Structure 1
C-alpha cells in the first residue's frame, strides 16, 4: 500500500526580505514517525488554493499550533495588539480547508491553534488571555529557553466516557503539556467536547457525525512523539484512519 500523504498547515513569516510559508519540524516528524505518513506543507494562499484538487491527492490533514492567534474579528470580537500576533493568510486558508475536510470525510488532526481554528470554522468563539480569568490556571508555557521545559507535562485532562479520545487513550486522567493563551469559548456547531482540564478548559473535541476520523487537542502531542505513550497513540490512530480510508477507496475502485 502507498504511504499516506498528510497536508500540513503553514504559518506565514517575514524573514530575510521574503514571505515564508512554513511548519515546525516537530509536527512533520510526528507525522513521519508517529503516523508513518509523509507530510506535505500547504502554503497559506487562501482562496487561490483549489481545495478539492488538493484534498483529492492527500489522505489526511494536520492543523499545527502556532505563535499567532486566530483573529477575533472572525468570531465577532475586536482584535487587539495584546492578543496578537495574528496570521490572516493562515486564517483565510485553514478555516475553509477545515470545513471542506470534514465534509469530505478526510481524516483530520487539529492541534492547539488548529483546535481553535476548528471551533471558529464551525461558528464557535474563543476566549482570549484565559490566564486572566477567575478560576482558570495559567495555560501558557513556563518561561524558558529550553524547549523540553516549555513542553513539559503541566496538568491532567479527563476524557469523556464514550468519546473518540477515550477510545484511543482510555477514560483515566491523562497528563499533558500546556502552551496556549486562547481557549474554546462558545462551542461551534456540530462539535462535541471529548476532554476537559481540571479548570474546565476544553482540551479535546471532535466534529459530531464526521464521516471519518476528526479530532482536536489543545495540548501538543507532537513534541513527545518519540517517548510519550499518549502522543504515540494519537498519531498512530491518525495514521490508522488514513490507511483505513485508503483501503476503503481501493476496495471501491476495485468493485467498479
Structure 2
C-alpha cells in the first residue's frame, strides 16, 4: 500500500516581490518521517477552493502553526493592530477544511495556530497577548536565542485522566514546547479540554464525539518528533488514524468495483 496523503493548508508569505503559498518544513518532515504520510500543500486562496474536492483526494488533515493569527472578526471581535499579523487566505482555507473534515470523519491533527483555528471553526473564541493577563505566564517564544533553544521542551502541561491524549501519552504531567501569545479563551461547545498548563491555559483539545482522530495541541510536537517520545507518539497516532482511514476508503472503492 502506498503512503496515504494529508492536506496541509498553506500560509501566504510575501518575498521576492510576490506572494508565496508556503508550509514549514518541520511539519511536513514529521508527517513523512514519523506519521509515515505524504503532504499536499493546499493553496491559501480567499475564494475558489472547493473543500470537498480537496478532501476527496486526501486521507487526513494536518493544520499547522504559523506566525500569523486568526482574524478576530471570525470569532466576533474587533481586530486591533497588536492582534496581527493576519492571513485571510489561510483563514478562508483552513476553517472550511476543518469543519468538513470533521463532518466526513477524516483524521485531523491541529497544531498551534491550528488548535486556535479548530476552536474558532466550531464557535469558540481566542484571547490575545495572554501574558498580559493576571496570573498567566509568558508563553511567548524567547527572543535572541538559537531556534532549537527557543523550541526547547521546558514547560509542563497536565493531561486529563480519560482524555483522548491520555490514550497515547498517559495522564498527568508531560513536558512540551509551547510557544504562543494567543490562546483559547472560550472553548467551542464541541470541544473537550484535554490538557492545561499550570496557569490554566488550555493546551490541548479534542472534538467531542468525533468520527475519527481529531486532536489539537497548542505546543509544537513537530519540532522534536524524531527524538522526543510524547511528540513522536502524537504523530504516530495521527499516522495510524490516517492509514486506517485510507485503508477503509480503498476497501469501499474495491467493493464498489
Shared fold per TM-score greater than 0.5: yes
Q: What is the CA–CA distance in structure 2 between the aligned matches of 1:144 and 1:28, rounded to whole Å?
A: 26
Quote the offset at 1:43 in angstroms.
Answer: 0.7
CA distance in 2, matches of 1:55, 1:108: 12
CA distance in 1, matches of 2:254, 2:144: 54
Deviation at 1:160, TM superposition (A): 1.1
Equivalent position of 2:20 in the other structure: 20
- The structural deviation recorded for 1:251 is 3.0
Please name the residue that 1:154 is paired with.
154
Q: CA deviation at 1:95?
A: 0.9
Structure 1 counterpart SS, 2:167: helix
Equivalent residues in 2 for 1:98-137 (5 A)? Answer: 98-137=98-137
Structure-1 separation of matches of 2:162 and 2:15? 46
Q: Secondary structure of the residue that 1:241 maps to in structure 2? A: helix
Deviation at 1:144, TM superposition (A): 2.5
- Alpha-carbon displacement from aligned partner over 1:152-176 (angstroms, at most 9, x marks no partner): 1131111111111000100131000
1:142 maps to what in 2?
142
1:145 is displaced (CA, Å) by 4.0
2:53 corresponds in structure 1 to 53
> Structure 1, residues 30-61: CA drift from partner, whole Å, max 9, x if none?
10111011111111013311111110110111
1:76 aligns with 2:68: no
Aligned to 2:11: 11
**In the alignment, does 2:242 pair up with 1:242?**
yes
TM-score by length of 1: 0.97
Contact 2:192-2:208 at 8 Å conserved across structures: yes
CA RMSD of aligned residues (A): 1.1
Output the CA distance in 2 between the equivalents of 1:196 and 1:172. Answer: 10
Q: Is 1:188 matched with 2:188?
A: yes
Number of equivalent positions: 256
Q: How does 1:90-101 map to 2 (within 5 A)?
A: 90-101=90-101
* CA-CA distance at 1:193 after TM superposition: 0.6
Look up the match of 1:176: 176
| Residues 61 and 109 in structure 2, CA contact (< 8 A), matched pair in contact too | yes
Q: Which runs of 5+ in 2 are unaligned?
A: none
Partners of 1:107 and 1:4 lie apart in 2 by 12
> C-alpha separation between the residues in 1 aligned to 2:144 and 2:232?
25
Mapped partners of 2:5, 2:197: distance in 1: 32
For the residue of structure 2 that corresponds to 1:48, the secondary structure is coil
Aligned residue for 2:201? 201
- Give the secondary-structure state (helix, strand or coil) at the position aligned to 1:248: helix
User: Which 4+ runs in 1 deviate beyond 6 A?
Assistant: none
